[in-house]
Homo-oligomer: A and B are copies of this chain.
């Protein structure tokens, strides 16, 4: 039975850079094989949330924006961050309301995720939401967002042709599609995701 506990020993950890969102930490460690090393990691202060939101016509809400970190314009599902004490579903509902002006009556857990696990502790939760009620968006004034609604099949086609590349968006859309294909979702939302036969 292999050992799956933490084989790293941290001798000291020093915060080398910090802002409101991240903390760069330099760890003085003993590696699994016993050698001393320095291992720098990035801690995320917020946890991630995201939502694949589908309207009554089977269209997914996509948000387009120039992402400063990536230096590129990306199309993504509605995503954001939450403080550790904000419940994931509350945070996802808040982001959906702020970014898209939409409230959803039905929610299902799509997946818990980790990202860039060698270098960061980023993790979070994605949801599937439907039965939407339309309202007024109130995006962060620092953000400049485009909002689109595309048929689910077209969102998948965007993944197919590389027009959607954000890992979280790709994973969440494909997971929703798989769950629909495999009968793992309520019929009412599976019918919105799958094309009519």
Q: CB within 8 Å of B: which residues of A?
A: 2, 4-8, 16-17, 19, 21-22, 24, 26-27, 29, 31-33, 35, 37-42, 44, 64, 66-74, 76, 111-123, 141-144, 146, 156, 159-160, 162, 165-168, 170-171, 174-175, 177-179, 181-182, 184
Contact = CB atoms under 8 A, between A and B. Distances in A.
Contact of A42 (B24, B74, B166, B175): B24
A89 to B, nearest CB: 17
A142 B31 CA distance: 6
Contacts of A184: 160
Contacts of A69: 41-42, 116-121
Given A113-B167, A167-B167, A119 B22 contact: yes
Contact of A66 (B5, B21, B39, B142): B5
